[in-house]
Structures are given as structure tokens and as C-alpha cells.
């Protein structure tokens, strides 16, 4: 009982924002806890000394509060001195009176007890696990609290464990579920483990918490077991059908996305196959070209060996042939050009001598000069062309002028040095 009352006091103090207590019998002695408790129960107690240091001040606080309480409810043989001295029985009697009269404003004293018990009996009588004629027994073994939770919440659809007769498990389960719905635990589990029987006041105080929370809430209607089982099965069927429908929609979405991705993959693979085939063709062409290169290289080597070009270059034969051909062409062109100049100058000189006897000296000089030039020109020798061959290395030669056949693979113009380099490659 002490534990239950302490928990009930703390529940109200905490809800109102006041400091909780460890032992209500001791902590009530200065009157401050009782004052705060009355405030949390929506009462209007008189002002008291909030820092009493002496016994007389503490008793005075308790006296003021008891006078106020007696104006509201009936209290028998409870004095301020009894509360200060820690009379446990009278302290619990006071708290029990507060529970019955101040917990609910519209219900008080014995009428509150009758209302709460009636409310609980009407609900629990619909369940097979509750014996209608033994309500007090079912309250003490915890079944009533579990049935009420099943009726008002969806937290306890399976109550098969209630038939086991394990009182500790019944209360433990009720405590855990009830706390989820704002119902404070007011019963000490340690007492249940010691197989101690709970007193009626503790059981009622805890039941009153259920009534406070659920009295205005509409619960489930308890129907015939066969009908209920049928409805439960139907509900489960609809639930599964909805799940199947939802999963089908998800499946269709994933299938559509899969097909899109598959199409992209197939297109990518087809493109990759085409590129692989193209690479295969390139490899084949490379191999054929390589073979042609080998054949052509062999032909080139055979040609070089058979014509002995490099040896001729080393011996100077090829260069000499080129020089000779170039020299002959250049010498012939120069001689023809000089001959034309000589003929033209001689003709001019003869005409001038005949027509100008008075200028004989000058004409003779001109003729001499011309004759000297012709003589020098006619004296042009091939060896003089050798001295100027270095100039040919710097100036390109027209290739077709050196050959009587078409040479399509050689440039139109090449220097002598380029010709020799090509032979030596």
C-alpha cells in the first residue's frame, strides 16, 4: 500500500511540475508535499510557510491544510500531530480519502468506488476468461486490467496467456501496455514476486487510473465468438488482398523499369558486337597489309641487290653518270646560246665597219672584244662544270629532264643530294 500511495502522489506531483517524494509517510511531515498535492488535484488550499525549520511551524502547516480538507470531505481522527509523527495508518487513510474524493470532481467517496467497479464489470463480463461472480479475484490476479486494455486498445489482441494463472506475468504485461497509454504503474512488482496479496485500496487505486483514462473512450463491442472469428478472418483476407494489390503495383513498376534497362543493355551489346566485328575486320586488314609490306620489302631488297645501287653510289659511278648527263645538257645549252650571241655580234660589227670608216678604231676594239668573248666561250670545258657542281646540290633539278620515261613515284624536282640520300636509304 505504501508503494502504491507513494506512486499515486508522485504521479500527480510530477504532472503539476512539483518535486516527487521517496517516502510519503516521511515527506508529508512538513506540510509542503501535502500542499503541492492539493494543488495538483486542482484544489485551492490556504497559504503555508514554505520554509518551515521548526516542528511548530511544520505542525502549523499540516493543521491549516487539514482544516481546509475537512471543509471538503469527512475526516475522522486524523490530526496534524499524527501526520508529523509519521503515523502510517493515518497517513494512508488521508491519502485514500483524497483518492476517493479529489481524483474526479464529479464522483466522490463510495459513489466513485461503485461507479468504477460497475464500469469495469460491464466491460469484462463480455470475456470468457473473466468469471462474472468472482470479479474481486480477477482484479487481484491482473486479468481485469488486461481485458480492459484489450477492449480499449489494439495493443493486446492475443490474451491466451491470461489463462495460465501466472499473476506476476499478468500484471507485468498490463503495466507495460498501460504505460504506453499514459497509465502510471501504482503497484509494486516486487510484492507480487514475493507472492504477497495486494490490498483492495492498491487494486482500486490502479483501477481508478484506467477509469480516468478510458471512461470517455468508446471501446470494441464484444460479439459472439463465431461471428468475431469470421470477421477477424474476413479482415485478414482483405488485408492480404490489399497487400497483394500493392505488391502487384510494385511488381509492375519494377518490371517496366527492368524492361527499359534491358532494352538499353541489348542496344549496348548490339553496338558492342558491331564494334567487335569491325575490329576483327581491321585486324584482318592489318594482317594482310603486313604480309604485303613483307613481300614488298623483300622485293625492294631483291631489287637493290640485283641493281647494286648502293655499291654504285659508294664507287661514285651513279653520281658520275648523273654529273655527266647534267654537264652534257648544260654544256650543249650554253654553247648554243653563245653561238647565237656570237653570230649576232659579228653581224653587227661588220655592218658598223662598212658604214663608219671614220670609227675604225672603235669598231676594231669592239670586234676584238667580241672575238675574245667568243673564244673564251668556245673554250668552255667540262672540267669547269665540276667546280660548280656544289651549286647543284642546293638547287632542285627537274627529274623528267634526266629520264626518257615517266617516273610517277619521284618528286618533280629534287636536288642532287636528295637523289643520293634516297639511293642510300
Widest pairwise Cα distance in the chain? 187
Question: For position 184, what pLDDT does the model report?
Answer: 81
CATH number assigned to the domain with residue range 2-102, chosen from the 4 options 2.60.40.10, 3.50.50.60, 1.10.150.120, 1.10.418.10: 1.10.418.10
So where are the chain's domains?
2-102, 109-214, 223-283, 310-424
8 Å CB contact between 203 and 135: no
The closest alpha carbon to 13, from 2, 24, 26, belongs to 24
SS (H, E, C) 164-195: HCCHHHHHHHHHHHHHHCCCCCCCCHHHHHCC
2-102 and 109-214 share one fold: yes
Does the pTM surpass 0.85? The reply is no
pLDDT tens per residue across span 128-163: 777 778 888 888 888 888 888 888 887 666 666 666
pLDDT in tens, 246-304: 999 989 998 989 999 999 999 899 989 888 988 888 888 898 898 898 988 888 888 87
Which residues have CB under 8 Å from 213's CB, separation 6+?
Answer: 181, 182, 183
Q: What are 323-360's pLDDT values in tens digits?
A: 566 656 656 655 665 676 676 656 555 544 444 444 44
Pick the CATH number of 109-214 from 3.10.20.90, 1.10.418.10, 3.30.565.10, 3.40.109.10: 1.10.418.10
Checking if the pLDDT of 380 tops 70, the result is no
Determine the Cα angle at 127 with ends 126 and 132, to 5°.
75
Rg (CA), the chain: 65
Amino acid at each position: 500500500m505504501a508503494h502504491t500511495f507513494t506512486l499515486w502522489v508522485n504521479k500527480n506531483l510530477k504532472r503539476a511540475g512539483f518535486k516527487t517524494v521517496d517516502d510519503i509517510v516521511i515527506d508529508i511531515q512538513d506540510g509542503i508535499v501535502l500542499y503541492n498535492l492539493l494543488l495538483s488535484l486542482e484544489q485551492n488550499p490556504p497559504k503555508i510557510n514554505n520554509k518551515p525549520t521548526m516542528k511548530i511551524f511544520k505542525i502549523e502547516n499540516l493543521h491549516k491544510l487539514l482544516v481546509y480538507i475537512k471543509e471538503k470531505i469527512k475526516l475522522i481522527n486524523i490530526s496534524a500531530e499524527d501526520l508529523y509523527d509519521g503515523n502510517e495508518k493515518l497517513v494512508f487513510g488521508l491519502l485514500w480519502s483524497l483518492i476517493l474524493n479529489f481524483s474526479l470532481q464529479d464522483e466522490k467517496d463510495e459513489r466513485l468506488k461503485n461507479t468504477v467497479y460497475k464500469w469495469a464489470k460491464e466491460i469484462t463480463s463480455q470475456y470468457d476468461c473473466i468469471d462474472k461472480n468472482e470479479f474481486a479475484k480477477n482484479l487481484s490476479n491482473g486479468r481485469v486490467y488486461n481485458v480492459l486494455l484489450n477492449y480499449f486498445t489494439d495493443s493486446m489482441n492475443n490474451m491466451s496467456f491470461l489463462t495460465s494463472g501466472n499473476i506476476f506475468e499478468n500484471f507485468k504485461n498490463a503495466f507495460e501496455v498501460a504505460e504506453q497509454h499514459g497509465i502510471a504503474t501504482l503497484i509494486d512488482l516486487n510484492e507480487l514476486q514475493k507472492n504477497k496479496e495486494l490490498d483492495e485500496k492498491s487494486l482500486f487505486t490502479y483501477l481508478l487510473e484506467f477509469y480516468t483514462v478510458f471512461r470517455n473512450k468508446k471501446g470494441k463491442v464484444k460479439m459472439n465468438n463465431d461471428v468475431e472469428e469470421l470477421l477477424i478472418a474476413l479482415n485478414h483476407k482483405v488485408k492480404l488482398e490489399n497487400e497483394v494489390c500493392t505488391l502487384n503495383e510494385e511488381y509492375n513498376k519494377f518490371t517496366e523499369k527492368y524492361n527499359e534497362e534491358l532494352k538499353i543493355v541489348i542496344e549496348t551489346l548490339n553496338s558492342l558486337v558491331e564494334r567487335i566485328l569491325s575490329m576483327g575486320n581491321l585486324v584482318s586488314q592489318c594482317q594482310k597489309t603486313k604480309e604485303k609490306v613483307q613481300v614488298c620489302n623483300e622485293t625492294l631488297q631483291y631489287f637493290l641487290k640485283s641493281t647494286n645501287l648502293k655499291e654504285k653510289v659508294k664507287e661514285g659511278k651513279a653520281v658520275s653518270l648523273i654529273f655527266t648527263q647534267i654537264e652534257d645538257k648544260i654544256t650543249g645549252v650554253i654553247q648554243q646560246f653563245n653561238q647565237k650571241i656570237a653570230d649576232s655580234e659579228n653581224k653587227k660589227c661588220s655592218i658598223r665597219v662598212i658604214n663608219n670608216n671614220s670609227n675604225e678604231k672603235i669598231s676594231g676594239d669592239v670586234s676584238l672584244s667580241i672575238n675574245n668573248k667568243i673564244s673564251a666561250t668556245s673554250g668552255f670545258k667540262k672540267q669547269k662544270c665540276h667546280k660548280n657542281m656544289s651549286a647543284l646540290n642546293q638547287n632542285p633539278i627537274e627529274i623528267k629532264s634526266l629520264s626518257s620515261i615517266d617516273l610517277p613515284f619521284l618528286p618533280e624536282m629534287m636536288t642532287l643530294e636528295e637523289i643520293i640520300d634516297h639511293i642510300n636509304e
